[in-house]
Amino acid sequence: MLSQRQLALILVAPGLLLVAALFLYPLGFSLISAFTKPDGSLTLDWFAKAYELYSTDIVFTVVIVLASCGLTALAAIVIAGTLTLGENPWIVGTLKALYRWPLFIPFIVAAQCMRTFLAKNGLMNNTFVSLGLMEPLSAVSYLDWRGIIATFVWKQTPFVALLLAGALASIDRATLEAGRNLGASRVRVLVELALPQVMPTLLVALVLSFVTMLSVLSVPMMVAGSQPTMLTVDMAFRINSYGDYATANALGVITYLISAGAAILYLKRGLSKEAAP
């Protein structure tokens, strides 16, 4: 007869084996490869090479992801605030029906949609020209850093707004109604009364979005495709063009370190929440 402990180990064993085979082993191999030469001696040459070739892309990646997180937070607050405090049933119902659609679209499809929308002769510029708002010669392409940010914000805003709207719906409505009865506008009620109560949820959603955007390859490759670019494109280029796994792994370690900052923030928030009385 199996004990409870043995039964629990049998149940979790398949999951642990998958994590070990598909995540821990590749992670360990990448870390070792980034710090060793082919003869097995320790070295930092691959990091020096990565910094020499891609220091601009490292800064570009961090700026793009942080800017996307900031704009995503702003858009999510507007959507969640409208859903929670909005008084026009038509606007609230329409927004509720539409804002979650990008959740079901893969990043590669979102990138292709943005190529069609933001190109020089794309849907956006052609619409402005047909409405007489723009001359055809003044049309410009937005398939650069602006396109990457637009794609990330469009794709991640529904995820953050969904979590934020749920958190806003769960807070005590009496406080919000008291603010409204005292003459505060809906914007002031949202910013000064509602948002401070749901800030932990917003922070967690942004941390998860930060890590997600940091790991996307298809969007910078399809939407921008020029220098500077994001680290995921650099890693794919080193492997596919040169077979240079060592430098690609060094770039991967740098990406781990960047995402570790977000992970530490996430863990500190979780620990402080558990320690709260």
CA-wise closest residue to 85 among 162, 160, 196, 185: 185
Res 273 pLDDT > 80? no
* Tokens encoding 10: 């049998």
Q: Over pLDDT 90: what percentage of the chain?
A: 35
Q: Are 46 and 66 in contact (CB under 8 A)?
A: no
- Which pairs with CB-CB distance under 8 Å and at least 24 residues apart come from 254-263? 254/47, 254/50, 254/58, 255/214, 255/215, 255/231, 258/61, 258/62, 258/214, 259/210, 259/211, 259/214, 259/215, 262/207, 262/210, 262/211, 263/207, 263/211
| Confidence band, pLDDT 50/70/90 cuts, at residue 74 | very high
Check residue 11 and report its DSSP letter. H
Q: Would the pLDDT of 218 be above 70? A: yes
Cis status of the peptide bond prior to 228, with omega within 30 of 0: yes
pLDDT at res. 65: 94
Kindly state the tokens that stand for 86: 């909005």
Whether 270 shows a pLDDT value over 70: the answer reads no
pLDDT tens digits for range 34-44: 899 888 888 89
Q: What is the DSSP string of 230-255?
A: -HHHHHHHHHHHH--HHHHHHHHHHH
| 160 vs 138, more confident | 160
**What domains does the chain contain, in order, with CATH numbers?**
46-104+143-275 (1.10.3720.10)
The reported pTM is: 0.86
Average pLDDT, the chain: 87
CA distance 146 to 151: 9
Which tokens is 123 given? Answer: 């849907």
pLDDT at 265 over 80: no
Q: Is the pLDDT of residue 120 over 60?
A: yes
Q: Is 36 helix (H, G, I), strand (E, B) or coil?
A: strand
